[in-house]
Structures are given as C-alpha cells and as structure tokens.
Chain A
Amino acid sequence: MKKNLLAMTILAGGMMLSGQAFAAEKTLVYCSEGSPEGFDASLFTSGTTFDAAANTMFDGLVNFKIGTTEVVPGIAESWSMSDDGLELTFNLRSGVKFHSTDYFTPTRDLNADDVIFSFTRQMDEDNVFYKHNNGAWLYFGYMDMANLIKDIKRVDDMTVTFVLDHPEAPIVSNMAMAFAGIQSAEYAAQVEASGNLDDMNQKPIGTGPFKFVNYQKDAVIRYAANADYFGGKPNIDNLVFSITTDASVRFQKMKAGECHVMPYPAPAELDMIKATDGITLLQSEGLNVGYLAYNTEKENFKDVKVRKALNHAINKQAIKDVVFSGYATIAVNPIPPTMWSYSTTTKDDEYDVEKAKALLAEAGLADGFKTNIWAMPVQRPYNPDAKKMAELIQADWAKIGVEAEIITFEWGEYLKRSKAGEHDTVLLGWTGDNGDPDNFLRVLLGKVSAEQGGNRARWADPAFEAELQAALLTTDAAERTAHYQKAQEIFKAAAPWATIAHSIVFMPVSDKVTGYLVDPLGGHWFSNVDMN
C-alpha cells in the first residue's frame, strides 16, 4: 500500500510537470458541432473537418480573404496565367515555416517540392500516400482536378507551374479550397520512413496560424498559436474546439461562458440568443441555394409551360416565413445575390395561381396531373425542413389541380436515386465551395452533370452550356460576368428549377471576442480574432 502511495505521488508530480494549464493566456473556446474525420482535409468533405484542419492549420497557394470569397495571396505571393490559359504559374513566398512540434522539426523553409507533393499525392496513382488512402481524394475529384492538371513543373525552388489540359478560369479559386492545403514534403518523407502513413492524417503539420497540440477523440481539439506564421502570430494564444453536437446545448454553453463562439444555432432559439446579454448574433447571407428541380426527362416536365406554371403556383413567401422563420432571401437565380455576376435583371416567376392555371391549360393539362415531390430526410443549411417545404408546395400545387405525393428516402439512398433520375421533382440545394459562379452553374446545371446525374433537372441546354464554356476560357472578370448573366437569363426562361431560397447564416459570438467575421463559404476562422 505504501509503495502504491509513493508511486502515485511520484506519478502525480510528473503529471504536474507535463500538464499545462491554459488559464493565464488568451484562450478561445469554440463549441464545434462535431468530430473531425481526421486532420488531412484533402481526404474529407465535411465542413467540420475543414474547420478543424484546413482553416486552422493550413494555407493554400492562395487563400480566401476571411469573411469574403475574394482570393488573396497565401503561400504564393503572386500568380499569373499564360495567354492561352494553359499554364498557371505561382511564385512562392520566401521564409514560410512549417510547424515545429514534438513530432516534427522542419530543417528547411517551404519550397516548390512541398507544393508538388501536395498535389501529386492526390493524382499520381503510384504515390505511396495515394495508394495508402485508396485514392479517396474526394474533393480533388469533385473539382475535376485530375482531368484539369496535366503536369506540375518545378521551375525553380520558389516557382511552380501547373500545366492545364484545357483553360479553366476558376482553378485559381480552387487552390484556396481545403483540399489544396500545402503539406510538408519533408514531413511526408519522415512519416513514410516511419511506416505509420496515417500520421499525416492524425498528427498534422501545416504552415497555418495555429499548430496542433492534441485531440481527445470526440471531446476536445487543442491548438497553439503559431508564432512563426507568415501572416503574423494570431492574437489569441490557444484555440480549443470543444465538440458539442447538440445545438441547444451549444447555446447553453455559450450562456454559461464555457465557449466563446458557436456555429449552427437552432432556428427556434434565434430570438432567445438575440436577447441574451453578452452574446452578439452575427449574421450573413449564406453562399447557398435551395431549389426544387423538375426532372425534364419525364413526360409532364418536358414542356417549359408546365414548369413555369408550377413555379407560378408556389408561394415562396410562405415558405420563407414558415420553413426559414423569415431568415432567408427568396431565390430568383441559381446563384446567391452575394456572388459576383449575380443577375439583377432576371425576373422571378411571381406567385399567381390564375396565371399558373392558364399556363397549364395552354400545355394541355387543364385538369392537372399526378406527380411526386421528393423531400430530403436531413436538415441542410439551404433547407432546414424539407418535409415541411414539400407539404407547402404540395398544398400550393393542389390549387391548380396538380396532385403531388411526397416521397422521402434515407439520405444516401435519396442522393443515389435522385442522381439516377427516379424522381419527378426533387428538393435539394448547394453550398458554394470557392465563390466562383462556375461552382454553382456548371456543377448543378451543366451538360456533363446532366449526364452524370448531379444535374437533378437532367436539363442540358446548348445555349446555356455555351455561355458556361465561354466563361471558362477567360480570366477577365467583366467578360465572365457577361457570360454568367446571360446564362442566368437562359436558365430563368427555361425554368428547370423552382428556385426557392438562400438561407442566412448565424453565428452567436461572445462579447469578449472581437474581430470575428462570418464566412460566406461556411467555414470558421480564428486567425484574426482577439479577446478582451
């Protein structure tokens, strides 16, 4: 017994030395909504993981300016596109340091090798990390990077050129996304030598404003400010993600002062949060769209008059009030108003039951018809309650004689079946990845997407597609804007969707925190915040 006591005492003493209290320094606690899947953002697709990995610890060649979708220099100081749009060259910033931690000490500053490694591991099937992860670099695939990048050339130590297969203007914005964060080739070599290839995903090394301290699974992630950050040391000393999955509990933690910032408040609690002392409810229009897609391959929806009639029959104001509790903007175009090239001249199909009836009669369907509305089983930022939304649309359509059955499936199954075109009409939506209109228009309404099923309207309009393709060929913003505005007009006239709403993003932030900016792309960033 005495021996045990002695051992305990020694152990306790040792723990005292190895442990560290955060209390004296500026520590910001962020009540995050879930556990990250890992810390190598290129392998995953959820915003939760991006927050915990890319947005805190990594930089891209370029970054998004926090709170905007504007692309600003990151690891690269400057970049240029060749005249034919086929060579994109980045000039790297000198003196950028990778994190020094207890598991890695860099011996050199960042250079072209790191950039090349970060991309080749996602595209070269012989790369040991490609193989180890079964090639599951999902976002690299979503953005079609493998078909876009033909080669990556090391011009010199600090210059890298991406040789492209075809011109595609948004590639620069893609480079600011989470999957394109720059990893250390030197660390990768160390990891490879150790044989524990998963360390890249479990013990991250980046160049970002915070470095990894530790992760207690499903509970807490700890970061420390990176004093060597090229953008300057962050104002806060420590950043803690306290994982709290329930929205109401997150709010209670905010109220009790246990955390300083929380994402995704429960819509029903917004008024209560607003009224709480010490908490400010920040808000910004989200870069998203919720829509109802008509399957234009189905007989009843081939005629644009039918689609227009159904659009006129939907009371979107009621949907905004009931489903979004008023916190949304009614959608006119397939891209949100905060995005550049948004068309202000297109006119929405106003709520007009008589007009809807007339159009339906013109289409030879005066007696209406039977159809279905697919409603998502999950809550998404662009649609907090798809079931309710479907019920409202169902009631609206009943007024013009269209009898709709509401159908739902489990989420994975829902996506799979709607991708296969089994639906008549389907509720879905999108949150932007890179702030480029191409990331909405081509992904959701493009020709290739219609063939592969991502375009749920299965609508492939040659004139629309021509505008999208033309906009890819130039980096001139004004020229691209003109193409996208024309595309929005074509879309609106053809009505492959009923555009429903763009939701508003809310962030409850403690009054102790200053400088927090709401990210339109849905990320959460802490390098620029301070605490008083």
Chain B
Amino acid sequence: MLRFILHRLAILIPTFFGITLAAFTFIHLIPGDPIEVMAGERGVSPEKYAELMHAFGLDQPLWKQYLDYVWQLLHGDLGVSFVTKQPVLDEFFKLFPATVELSLIALIFAIVIGIPAGIIAAVKRGSIFDHSLMTLSLTGFSMPLFWWALLLIVTFSGTLGWTPVSGRISALYYFDNVTGFLLIDSWLSGQPGAFKSAVSHLILPTIALGTIPLATFARQTRSAMLETLNEDFIKTARAKGLSPVRVTVVHAFRNALIPIITVIGLSVGVLLGGAILTETIFSWPGIGKWMVDSIFRRDYAVVQGGLILIATMVIIVNLTVDVLYGLIDPRIRRKGH
C-alpha cells in the first residue's frame, strides 16, 4: 500500500510543474495588462506606466518572469495581489473555508439523494419511478447553472420568501471567525438565530451547486447497479435466500462502488468549477468569486496562485480516491497501478 501511495505521489511532481506552466501561460495569453485595466478610461502617463510595470516585475521577458515565479513558489511564496497588495496565500485561506463549506454540503446533498435514488431506480428498473428519475436527472444535468440559480432565487426567495436571497449569513449577525466554517462559527457564537440564519443561507446555493452532481450520481449509480445486479454472484446470493435488501446493499452496491466513487472524485473538480458561478450569483465569498474578479482585473499573482492551489486540492482529492480504490478493490492495489 505504501509503495502504491509513493508511486502516486511521484507522479504529482511533473503534474505540479505542468500546472504552474499552464496557469502562467493562460493568464498571460489574455490580452491587456493589470495597469491598463486599473487605469480605465482615464489612462496613465507613459512614465507612470513604465514605473508600475517595473514595480510589478512585468517588464521582464516572460521566460524570466516564469522562472522567477517558480523559484518563488519553491520557497513557498505565492506572491502578493497586484490589486489588494495582500499575500495571495492569506487571501486564499480567508476565502477557502466558504468554498469548502458550500462544496462539501452540496456534495453530501448530492450523495445522500443521488445514490439511493439511483439504487431504487436500478432495482425497480422500468417502473414509473425509474423513468421519472432518469428524465429528471437528464434535466438537472442539462440545466444552465446560472439560470437555475436565478430561478431558485426568484421563486423561493423573491416570490415565496422562504429562503434568504444571497450571502452566507444575515448582515445583522456579527461574530469573530474561529474556523471560517459558518455553520460551526455561528453555533459557537451563541447568538440566537445565527446558526439558523447560516443554515437557511446554505439551502439555495447547495441545491444550485448540487444539482448536476446529484443527477450524475443518480445515473451512474443506476447503471453500475444494473450491471452488478445481472452478475452471477447476485443470482447466487438470491438463490441462497438472502433478503433482497441485503443482496442489493451488501452484495450489489459494494461491487458497484468503484465507478460511483470515480464519479464522486471527479465531481470535486466539477463542484469547484460550479462554485465559481454559484458563488458569483449568491454573493458567496469564496475562492470562485475571488478568481473571477481577479481575472477581470488581470491580477496575475492571484489567478496563478489561485489556480495552483485549486489544482493542488483537486490532485489531493484524486489521490485520495485512488487510495480508496485500493482499499475497496485489492486487485488494483496488487497490480500497483
């Protein structure tokens, strides 16, 4: 097992360099530079422009800027935002808990509803439930996130008034951040109503962000289950007289888990990508919104640093999934892939 993990970790090094190069290249491919964008219609004198480009190190040849950046990275320094002048790492960790909180709850929401729904659909294949679920999940999967989120807001907040419109908690509550996770912090604050407010603010963004993964999980679970349910060992289990629940959950589901876990692992990337839109619409102060703002401002340091940090997170999750495969299916572990 240790060898397996070490092998996986070794692959990380070239991946990581690839990411730094990609992050650096992409942001520099976008035309325009931070100084021009900052100056807007008002413009900036050629002398001032040169002075500022020099101060930000942007007057150097690109290859040198890249090497300097990697050197800096190897020393654990992600640089300073051009706009706010704050260290990128500080900003990231201020905002990251908000994204993790939302993504995690959305993931749990998608798993808790998606997987059982997929199992039931597989067991009751061809029933009305199966057909409706598959239609619904196709709809969920194809819905543009932006539109879906606005529709949720207009219906549940605007018209029915059941949920708050946006933000993480009502502006009336104010307490110090302990963990950065508002569900925990609001509870710790002891302020009456704070926890409830935090929960109610999570409902719509969770549904918006969780819909696509939910649809994916349901479909994937259904097809994986259908495949295993036809296997000989299931027939054997049934023939042994095991209860249908035991056959489904213990025998079939355990064997259907590998493709399901693969999809869950991959959906972490989807969730982080979806978080960008969801956070923008729901004014959720996470890294998605931060990255979007920074791209518009050509805040190279933040975009590069943010991409690298997000990619690192995704790599860690994928690594965890790989390790989980090994745990669930000993064949993978032994082959050493």
Contacts and interface: CB of A to CB of B under 8 A. Distances in A.
A219 B285 contact: yes
A19 interface: yes
A468 interface: no
B171 A411 contact: no
Given A16-B190, A21-B191, A198-B85, A45 B38 contact: yes
A216 interface: yes
Nearest to A20: B174
B32 A428 contact: no
A26 interface: no
Contacts of B293: 34-35, 218
A252 interface: yes
Nearest to A222: B174
A73 to B, nearest CB: 27
A169 interface: no
Nearest to B166: A249
A370 to B, nearest CB: 25
A409 B280 CA distance: 24
A252 B153 contact: yes
A243 B283 contact: yes
Nearest to B33: A412
A19 B40 contact: no
Contacts of A222: 174
B154 A217 contact: no
Given A34-B293, A244-B283, A415-B39, A220 B30 contact: no
Nearest to A220: B171
A416 interface: yes
Give the most central of B33, B153, B167: most A CB within 10 Å.
B167
Given A134-B55, A198-B85, A201-B85, A429 B171 contact: no
Contact of B175 (A19, A136, A244): A19
A45 B42 contact: yes
B328 interface: no
Interface string A1-28: 0000000100111011011111100010
Interface stretch (A61-69, A87-95, A253-261): A253-261
A368 interface: no
A249 B86 contact: no
A141 B48 contact: yes
Contacts of A443: 42
B176 A45 contact: no
Given A38-B85, A242-B283, A454 B175 contact: no
B84 A454 contact: no
Contacts of A246: 166, 280-281, 283
B61 interface: no
Contacts of A101: none
A101 to B, nearest CB: 15
B91 interface: yes
A213 B290 CA distance: 22
Contacts of A240: 171
B32 A430 contact: no
Given A12-B190, A134-B55, A21 B174 contact: yes
A245 B164 CA distance: 16
Interface residues of A, number: 67
Given A141-B44, A256-B161, A415-B41, A19 B281 contact: no
Contacts of B86: 198, 202
Interface in A168-201: 198, 201
B321 interface: no
A38 B84 contact: yes
Contacts of A244: 166-167, 283
Contacts of B168: 219
B129 to A, nearest CB: 34
A249 B165 contact: yes
B290 A15 contact: no
Nearest to B185: A15
Nearest to B90: A217
A419 B55 CA distance: 23
B173 interface: yes
A242 B153 CA distance: 17
B188 A428 contact: no
B189 interface: yes
Contacts of B188: 8, 11-12, 15
Contacts of A243: 283, 285
A286 interface: no
A256 B165 contact: yes
A22 B174 CA distance: 8
Given A136-B52, A242-B283, A258-B171, A218 B289 contact: yes
A11 B178 CA distance: 10
A138 interface: yes
B165 A22 contact: no
A138 B178 contact: no
Contact of A21 (B31, B51, B172): B172
A173 B289 CA distance: 36
B283 A219 contact: yes
Given A134-B52, A256-B161, 13 more contacts: A21-B174, A27-B172, A45-B38, A134-B55, A134-B56, A136-B55, A141-B48, A213-B174, A217-B91, A217-B95, A219-B285, A258-B164, A410-B30
Interface of B: 30-33, 36-46, 48, 51-52, 55-56, 83-86, 91, 94-95, 98, 150, 153-154, 157-158, 161, 164-168, 170-178, 187-191, 280-283, 285-286, 289-290, 293, 298
8 contacts: A19-B191, A22-B174, A45-B40, A218-B95, A242-B283, A243-B285, A452-B45, A454-B42
